[in-house]
A and B are shown apart, each in its own frame.
Chain A
Amino acid sequence: MFAYYLDLALRSLKRNKLLTALMVLAIAIGIGASMTTLTVMHLLSGDPLPGKSAHIFYPQVDPTPADWYNKSHPLEVMDDRSALDLWNAHRADRQALIVQSPVKVSAPGVDRPPLMLTLLATTSDFFPMFEVPFEYGSAWTPSDETGRARVVVISSDLNDKLFGGKNSVGKTIRLRDSDVRIVGVLKRWRPTPLFYDAEGGFTGNGYDTSYYAKPEDVFMPYQSALEVNDGNFFQFTCWGNGAAVPGHLEGSPCLWVALWVELDSAAKVADYRAFLQNYAQQQKKLGRFANTDTRMLDLMQRLDYEQVIPKNVRLQTWLAFAFLAICLFNTVGLLLAKFLRRAGEIGVRRALGASRRSVFAQCLTEAGLIGFIGGVGGWLLTLVGLWLVRRQQTPYSDLVHMDTSMFVVTFALAVAVSLFAGALPALRASRIAPALQLKTL
């Protein structure tokens, strides 16, 4: 039966090429616009650590003074003393301190000008906790941290630039004026969004696209990095007189260190929240804290809180769907015209014994076919749209592509939209009274 309806639908579509073309075009444009933005949204709103993100948390305390003008507590990052206190307590399954700083990198014996890159000062749990893949070598050990060893892990990008992608474990690079030894080289790693970055503590409010940038190029044990790149650290903010020496923030009344923890069970999460609260209370008793507000969001909550998805992209998505709605109305109107124009034909079919249901099914088949053809057009337009997005100057431009799921969604959406649009006209068509139509023939 379906094959017969399909044949009828094809014949009907061929009969009025202009009307068919208008409908297919409307659906194709609507689908192209909405799928382009939906693909970008899908990319930007993804879970950077699927299966694990529910166990990753971002604890925050508030060391700012009571008369601090900024009323949002706690602020994005912590002072180093609070962060180190929490870290030294070792209450989490895994935990990593995070501080970024710009650093000059060169390699002895490599003929190229020095590079300015970002150095991530962190702790060894960072790599297993965030499932960072290694191409060569491995992370440093906790004893490297206590021994303040001059060791680094580098990104595959940097390894390609300096060593042509060859195994560079054991080689030396120069960070500012210090020689450091490479112990590990990462595989290509592009967590999207770059969730662990506190961005120097500025909430983007949806206007910052740096959450989609590449990860840092050089990773180093926390204390070693603080020594090697001393004088080049940037605070989110300071109170009182700030840092005595600019760029040297250890022990200063400044916010600049972030902490991430992994907590593998609900009980541990509850324990850690209590621990965080106790810590804040205890620091208040000691007179170091004025506020005991704490916050601990999990990874996805944290991304929501930071509003990492750029507002432009959200706006474009709404726009695209408003546009799709217009295309939908348009298609409903045109399908109505098309079906009712064939009132005579439908009347004959009904008189010959076709049920309302089969007339309805036939009309829907025709609508679905239009949707499918529109879907092909929409898919092509989406590819054009994504090409345009890739040409934009955004940190995520290189990531934009259509994956299998989005390919399937394109056609599903196109057919769904056309069936939805076809339902009402098909219902109207199936209600046509055969006798009235036969009389006019």
Chain B
Amino acid sequence: MQIRPILAALKKHKLATFLIAMEIALACAVLVNAVFLISSRLSAMHINSGVDEASLGAIVVTGFDPKQATDLNARMIAGLGAIPGVESVHAISSVPFGPQWGVSGMTLDQAGKQPGAVVEFYDGNPGTPEALGLKLVAGHLPSADDYQPLQGQDYFPASSRVLITRALAEKLWPGENPLGKQFWAAKWQFRVIGVVANLSVSQYTENGEHGAEWCVFVPVQASGQLVGTYLIRAKPQDLERAMTEARAAVAKIAPDVVLDYANSRTIGHLREYFFKNDRAMAGLLVGVIAALLGVTAFGIVGLASFWVAQRRKQIGIRRALGATRADILRYFQTENFLIVTFGIVVGVVLAIGINLLLMKFFEVPRLPLWYLPIGVVVLWLLGQLAVLVPALRAAAVPPVVATRSV
């Protein structure tokens, strides 16, 4: 295939060629970045909570006197535990995707000079790690006497033996054995007795100061500030019904409290709700991409049709001189390929530029370079598909056209 005559012909249509190429360039830049944004949304949605989501639900109540914590906990645990199908009920400070409870900065020394990380604390009464389904990877789970009562309305015991996640252990003591290590938050002291594989923070945001799994589990008795949120465990097939009954039962168990209806759901529902906007944004981006490719294809179809109509006579002459239909078809396809390639070169640069801007203003991560070839291939295919119809029409031009005056 001769490229020279194609380039010569394109030179006569510099403006139109430039316009199509720019359209391709912009499309390429937006396409690559939009696909990247979609995939980062989707990967954020796959955050590992570390708990048995299919078997767990939460009941959240508010509006009680904090002094009645111990009494309310006893009533709720007994009352909810009596519902058929409920395997266990535990007092827990918060659950993944539920309302946030204990996010705090912590330090690696008692004087508070050596900053550690901003972490999320989970309080739970005896049996909570087992009910959550946390997977231990080092050390041991809290034993019965690790669960201490909370004084007054305190958040933690003065000194407690805790579980941390593998991610947090790596953050605080990279490469070291975290077991036995200590850390402090305000007046409270903590010592690590076990490491669990995964446990996510309750309300993870990509921009936050804390990692998705920087969590601490503090074993305590159901008292003090550990009140109002209850972890329900049931067989997956019983869970939905048990939760419905549990929500209804609260009015009988504790008529004076207010049920937080929105947060008293299965963990699966809470998760779905938590990522609702991410899903909406991903959906929107998919829509934009579809419309974008559509509009770009229209542009190519429109302009290629125009060129075919304009060159009817020349095509006829070529056919009369012995060019086959395939030659004509290939001519338009090569022409499109050249224009799209020109656009893509500019588009790749533009895509990286846009990504740099997004990184600066929207805290978007750096674009992995392997996204670029995908964009390139998609646009090449799009160009070839869009030009196919006009090119076929061109190939159908009979040689006899050459003998006509118009």
What B residues does A340 contact at CB under 8 A? 306, 310
Docked-complex contact B298 and A104, CB < 8 angstroms: no
Instruction: For the complex, give the distance between the alpha carbons of A20 and B280 in Å.
Output: 33
A114 part of interface (Cβ distance < 8 Å):
yes
Docked-complex contact B16 and A336, CB < 8 angstroms: yes
Docked-complex contact A33 and B207, CB < 8 angstroms: no
Q: A326-B296, A330-B23 are in contact. Are A33 and B291 (CB under 8 A)?
A: yes
Instruction: For the complex, give the distance between the alpha carbons of A441 and B405 in Å.
Output: 9
Contact of B295 among A26, A205, A246, A332 (CB under 8 A): A26
Contact of B258 among A19, A115, A322 (CB under 8 A): A115
25 contacts between A and B (CB under 8 A): A18-B305, A19-B305, A22-B301, A25-B295, A69-B112, A102-B62, A113-B258, A114-B63, A114-B258, A116-B63, A205-B207, A238-B186, A247-B153, A315-B358, A315-B362, A316-B281, A319-B285, A326-B296, A327-B295, A333-B16, A336-B15, A337-B305, A338-B306, A393-B277, A393-B280
Instruction: For the complex, give the distance between the alpha carbons of A85 and B274 in Å.
Output: 41
Contact string against A for B residues 22-46, beta-carbon threshold 8 Å, 1 for contact and 0 otherwise: 1100110110001001000000000
Contact of A241 among B66, B186, B310 (CB under 8 A): B186
B251 part of interface (Cβ distance < 8 Å):
yes
Docked-complex contact A322 and B30, CB < 8 angstroms: yes
Docked-complex contact A104 and B258, CB < 8 angstroms: yes
A428 part of interface (Cβ distance < 8 Å):
yes
What B residues does A441 contact at CB under 8 A? 406
Which chain B residues (286-311) contact chain A, with CB distance < 8 Å?
288, 291-292, 294-296, 298-299, 301-303, 305-307, 309-310
Q: A69-B115, A326-B27 are in contact. Are A336 and B19 (CB under 8 A)?
A: yes
Q: A116-B258, A311-B362, A393-B277 are in contact. Are A245 and B291 (CB under 8 A)?
A: no
Residue on B nearest A320 in the bound complex, by CB: B288
What B residues does A278 contact at CB under 8 A? none
What B residues does A407 contact at CB under 8 A? none
Which chain A residues (232-260) contact chain B, with CB distance < 8 Å?
238, 241-242, 245-247
Which chain B residues (347-398) contact chain A, with CB distance < 8 Å?
354, 358, 361-362
What A residues does B34 contact at CB under 8 A? 319
Question: Smallest Cβ distance from A77 to chain B, in angstroms?
Answer: 17
Q: How many pairs of A and B residues are in contact by the CB < 8 Å rule?
A: 139
Question: Smallest Cβ distance from A329 to chain B, in angstroms?
Answer: 4
B50 part of interface (Cβ distance < 8 Å):
no
Question: Smallest Cβ distance from B247 to chain A, in angstroms?
Answer: 12
Instruction: For the complex, give the distance between the alpha carbons of A238 and B187 in Å.
Output: 12
Instruction: For the complex, give the distance between the alpha carbons of A338 and B306 in Å.
Output: 8
What B residues does A22 contact at CB under 8 A? 298-299, 301-302
Docked-complex contact B277 and A104, CB < 8 angstroms: no
B159 part of interface (Cβ distance < 8 Å):
no
Docked-complex contact A241 and B299, CB < 8 angstroms: no
Docked-complex contact A334 and B26, CB < 8 angstroms: no
Instruction: For the complex, give the distance between the alpha carbons of A231 and B153 in Å.
Output: 10
Contact of A19 among B281, B302, B406 (CB under 8 A): B302
Instruction: For the complex, give the distance between the alpha carbons of A393 and B276 in Å.
Output: 7
Docked-complex contact A329 and B26, CB < 8 angstroms: yes
A341 part of interface (Cβ distance < 8 Å):
yes
Nearest 8 CB-CB pairs, A to B? A337-B306, A104-B63, A330-B299, A329-B23, A333-B19, A334-B302, A22-B298, A393-B276
- Most chain B CB atoms below 10 A, which of A238, A327, A333, A441: A333
Instruction: For the complex, give the distance between the alpha carbons of A441 and B40 in Å.
Output: 58
Q: A312-B277, A330-B295 are in contact. List 6 more A-B contacts (CB 8 A).
A: A116-B63, A319-B30, A325-B26, A326-B30, A327-B295, A329-B20
Contact string against B for A residues 411-441, beta-carbon threshold 8 Å, 1 for contact and 0 otherwise: 0000000000000100010000000000001
Question: Smallest Cβ distance from B51 to chain A, in angstroms?
Answer: 23
Contact string against B for A residues 111-142, beta-carbon threshold 8 Å, 1 for contact and 0 otherwise: 00111100000000000000000000000000
Instruction: For the complex, give the distance between the alpha carbons of A198 and B310 in Å.
Output: 65
B85 part of interface (Cβ distance < 8 Å):
no
What A residues does B362 contact at CB under 8 A? 311, 314-315
B128 part of interface (Cβ distance < 8 Å):
no
Question: Smallest Cβ distance from A249 to chain B, in angstroms?
Answer: 13
Question: Smallest Cβ distance from A179 to chain B, in angstroms?
Answer: 16
A394 part of interface (Cβ distance < 8 Å):
yes
What A residues does B225 contact at CB under 8 A? 246
Instruction: For the complex, give the distance between the alpha carbons of A284 and B321 in Å.
Output: 96
Residue on B nearest A337 in the bound complex, by CB: B306
Docked-complex contact A329 and B19, CB < 8 angstroms: yes
B273 part of interface (Cβ distance < 8 Å):
yes
Residue on B nearest A22 in the bound complex, by CB: B298
